[in-house]
Amino acid sequence: MDKGKEPGGAWLEKLTGAHSPPASDIFWAALGAFAGMASLSYLDQHLVRRGLTRLTIGPTAAIAVILTASPKAPVAAKWNIFVAHMGAAIASIAALALFGPGWLARAVGVAASVAFMQFTGSLHPPAAGLALLFVDSATHQSLGWRYVVFPGLAAALVLVLVTEAVSLLRRSFS
């Protein structure tokens, strides 16, 4: 009996998701993620010595996954990455300024980020994580408006450049 014809088969197929990609796709995705995160971590060593905040934060790991494992997905579009991160950072700064630290600023920051992404057509889920991080982190709050550029946009730029380099390398081996 066909999997889709079995009782619950369609549901089970949706639950298990897509099949694994070819081994070469897995290799290049892992290499891109490694190169991107290694680059950010290397930069972190120099930034921390100078008293600056790290680039390796939760949202940047999520960007690395999206850029390397599903580079053709709409959420991997460069417009989405940069515009969504900028909007989410601004939304979180405004939410904290209006409501102070706490649950309301968290909720408003993320909700405003979602609204901004929907309005601008720049859906990129890791940006909402950037908004939440600002409201919850005194280190990031101390950056004030600089948070719009650093660490979100700066880390995203590094990841985009590194993953593009890995993509060029992959094409040269194809």
Q: Which two tokens stand for residue 110?
A: 């993320």
Return the pLDDT at 34.
99
| Separation CA 64–CA 162 (nearest Å) | 10
List the one residue out of 74, 75, 22, 41 whose CA is nearest residue 162.
41
Distance (Å, whole) CA 84 – CA 98: 21
User: What is the predicted pLDDT for the residue at 142?
Assistant: 94
Tokens of 19: 């099949």
Tell me if 109 sits within 8 A of 92, measured CB to CB: yes
The type of residue at 63 is I
Q: How far, CA to CA in Å, does 156 sit from each of 72, 108, 165?
A: 17, 23, 14
φ and ψ of 89, to 5 deg: -65, -45
Q: Residue 121: left if φ>0, alpha if ψ -120 to 50, beta else—which one?
A: left
Task: State residue 51's pLDDT score.
Answer: 86
The Cα 88–Cα 152 span in angstroms is 9
Query: How many C-beta atoms lie closer than 10 Å to residue 105's C-beta?
Result: 22
pLDDT attached to residue 12:
65
d(CA 60, CA 58): 5
The pLDDT assigned to 117 comes to: 98
- pLDDT tens, position by position, 38-84: 999 999 999 999 988 899 999 999 999 999 999 999 999 999 999 99
Tell me: pLDDT of 1 over 60. no
Q: What is the pLDDT of residues 82-129, one digit of tens each?
A: 999 999 999 999 999 999 999 999 999 999 999 999 999 999 999 999
Q: Is the pLDDT of residue 2 over 60?
A: no
- What is the structure's pLDDT at 8? 62
Taking 90 as the threshold, does the pLDDT of residue 15 lie above it? no
pLDDT for residue 30 is more than 90? yes
To 10 degrees, what angle do helices 103-120 and 78-99 make? 150
Question: Is the pLDDT reported for residue 158 higher than 80?
Answer: yes
Spell out the domain ranges in the chain. 25-168
145 confidence band (pLDDT: 50, 70, 90):
very high
- Distance between CA atoms of residues 84 and 89, nearest Å: 8
